[in-house]
Structure 1
Amino acid sequence: MTTPERPAKPAKPTTELTVTSTERLGPAMLRLRFAGDLAAFEGVDDTDRYVKLLFTPDGSPDLSTMADGERSSVRSYTVLELDVAAGTLAIDFALHGSGFAMRWARDVQPGATITVQGPGSGYSPDPTADWHLLVGDDAALPAVRQALAVLPPDAQGYAVLLVGSRAEELPLPAPAGVEVRWSHRDGGAGLADAVRELPWREGRVDVFVHGEAQAVMQEIRPYLRERGVDPRGASISGYWKRGLVDEEFRKWKRELAAAEAS
């Protein structure tokens, strides 16, 4: 008896966006604003909604230069300031490393276009939770920001962020009962250590932990299991992995998932 194959998931729609402005938020964060037809985003309200920016394998946004059958390279980014009716959104780019999405964002000028695929999403804070644990590094900061923005005024918990230095901290509004803690790589801090140092609260916790995969998947996730958190009911995932480009990182994630399933 053969097992029937699962039907392939339909491809996400693609949209051409035009850069309308650029804004430097700090020494290591840049916000680009875009305009386009955002009908595909209607009703997508999760706070971690994202799009995949499409590039050629050598990092150009001009997909017309690709050969037949050649696959584009994708880079995923959280969507901010979404206004479907106005056809506008924003994306924050962390200015670390040397990836071609970062280089493109750093050098791009208003009027330039790029094709994106999406949106995708999967998380919004649970308003019935007793408290919230939001954890991330530079890459996850936009999603954490959006989660904090929709928490009720009486929400309790922690937001733990890792950035390069104190100068890279950005304003992060949060309910009075949610303590925002910053850690800094230039001081030798790690995301997992910052989470372990938190006084653990009573009650049911709603968890969002995203960032560098080694810290998230192999350090923080096991610790949360020890604390009684079921990862199946939490949003825990690596956004990137130190030393790997996105294509290598996705392969690493597949191998990790296969090893954990065996």
Structure 2
Amino acid sequence: MSYCAEVLRSEWLTPLLVRVELGGPGLDGFAMPTDTDAYVNVAIPPTGADYGGRFDPGAVREQRPRELWPVRRRYTVRRWDPATGRLTLDVVVHGDDGVGGPWAATARPGDLLVLEGPGGGYRPDPSADWHLMVGDESALPAIAASLEAVPAAAPVTVRLLCDGPDHEVTLTSPGSLDLLWLHRTGEETDADLLPAAVRELVFPAGRVHAFVHGEADEIRAIRRHLLAERGLRRSDMSCSPYWRRTMTDEAWRQMKKEYVAAMETDVA
């Protein structure tokens, strides 16, 4: 089902992260799953499209040539308030690159955003002995929402990668939080900062429930380590590569399925 939400306000949380709050009657009927990584698929008209504002993505795909189809991007829901009908998305912006980031960077009250969903697949398992959450800016909205759903006093270890102190945000949890931010330096060694931090962890006793999302090659290395060297079960880990270094969004989308299939063969 598609919705047409109205931008109510926007706010820069960090130099790369902008929060967009959406609402309006176009969200009537919107309902969230219990998943804390719940996402919506937004549809943004390409430059030169002869439509905009409120439209039906399916009808556009049926009636117009492919080059005029809306560009789809998936964003995690940071927060949904059913009482006020407000939907909050935190979007990473890398300058003028991509489609979703530039839209969010210039979003103003009254702008309209067509979206479909929501979907999801992860929520911290209350029966786990402890929780592990690993990622970068792209995973930050899901990790922030997931931390709020960790059972009281449950141990939760978080390792997050960003560009520096001014890219950090305040994170809270009812759990017992062990949080470490890692900062990129601009060197090739940045690619190993997150995997190295996970390798260095002393795991608490008991069963862990893990959430590992972010840059493809980093996440693949962490997944391989957790399965092969730490003995995690696949069923105890939510793991997905959101993007890949040196690749545009469109190039990554075209080969992501193949890449994920290759990840599955890493560990027998």
Whether TM-score is above 0.5 comes out as: yes
Per the TM alignment, residue 154 of structure 1 is displaced from its structure 2 partner at its CA by: 1.1
CA contact 2:149–2:173 (8 Å) conserved in 1: no
- CA-CA distance at 1:194 after TM superposition: 1.6
SS of 2:144 mapped into structure 1: helix
Once residues 43 and 26 of structure 1 are traced to their aligned partners in structure 2, the CA distance between those partners, rounded to angstroms, is: 26
- Segment drifting more, 117-126 vs 77-86: 77-86
Larger deviation, residues 149-158 vs 169-178:
169-178
Deviation at 1:250, TM superposition (A): 2.5
User: Displacement of 1:249 after TM fit?
Assistant: 1.6
Secondary structure in structure 2 of the residue aligned to 1:150: coil
Q: In structure 2, what is the Cα distance between the partners aligned to 1:247 and 1:59?
A: 18
The 1:195/1:41 distance shift into structure 2, 3 A limit, reads farther
CA contact under 8 A between 1:39 and 1:84: conserved in structure 2?
A: no
| CA displacement, residues 65-105 of structure 1 (integer Å, 9 cap, x when unaligned) | 98614243211111122023422111111233522211111
3-state SS of the aligned residue for 2:185? helix
User: What is the aligned partner in structure 1 of residue 73 from structure 2?
Assistant: 75
Q: 1:182 to 1:260 in 2, by over 3 A?
A: closer
Moved more, 82-91 or 198-207: 82-91
Deviates more, 1:104-113 or 1:20-29: 20-29
Aligned pair in 2 of structure 1 residues 260, 200: CA closer, same or farther (>3 Å)?
A: closer
Q: Which of 180, 204, 209 matches 2:207?
A: 204
* 1:48 counterpart residue number: 37
Q: What SS class does the counterpart of residue 26 from structure 1 fall into?
A: coil
| Aligned twin of 2:154 | 155
- 1:197 to 1:260, Cα distance in 2 relative to 1, 3 A: closer
Alignment of 1:7-22 (within 5 A): 13-22=1-10
Percent identity (aligned): 39
Alignment match, 1:3: none
Write the deviation string for residues 142-191 of structure 1: whole angstroms up to 9, x where unpaired.
10001110111211030111111112111111346220110011275422
> Aligned to 1:127, what secondary structure does the other structure show?
coil
Give the aligned residue type for 1:234: M
1:107 to partner: Cα distance: 1.3
Q: Is the 8 A contact 1:59 1:100 kept in 2?
A: no
Aligned to 1:62: 52
| TM-score normalized with structure 2 length | 0.84
Q: Would you say the 8 A contact 1:59–1:101 is kept in 2?
A: no
Match of 2:223, as an amino acid?
R
Runs (4+) of structure 1 moved beyond 6 Å? 63-67
8 Å CA contact 2:147–2:175 kept in 1: the answer is no
Amino acid corresponding to residue 76 of structure 2 in structure 1: T
For 2:12 and 2:157, the matched residues in 1 are separated by 27
* Residue 224 (structure 1) aligned with residue 219 (structure 2): no
Distance 2:88 2:136 in 1: 19
Name the CA distance, whole Å, in 1 between partners of 2:129 and 2:207: 5
Tell me: CA distance 1:26–1:249, structure 2 relative to 1, closer, same or farther (3 Å). Answer: same
Aligned match for 2:14, one of 7, 11, 26: 26
Describe the shift of the 1:34–1:128 C-alpha distance in structure 2 as closer, same or farther (beyond 3 A): same
> Secondary structure in 1 aligned to 2:75?
strand
* TM-score of the aligned structures, taking structure 1 as reference length: 0.86
- Inter-partner Cα distance in structure 1 for 2:202 and 2:106: 43
Assess if the C-alpha contact under 8 Å between 2:162 and 2:181 holds in 1: yes
Are the structure 2 counterparts of residues 259 and 30 from structure 1 closer, same or farther at C-alpha, using a change threshold of 3 Å? Answer: closer
Residue-pair matches, total? 249
* Root-mean-square deviation (Å): 2.4
Unaligned runs of 5+ in 2: none
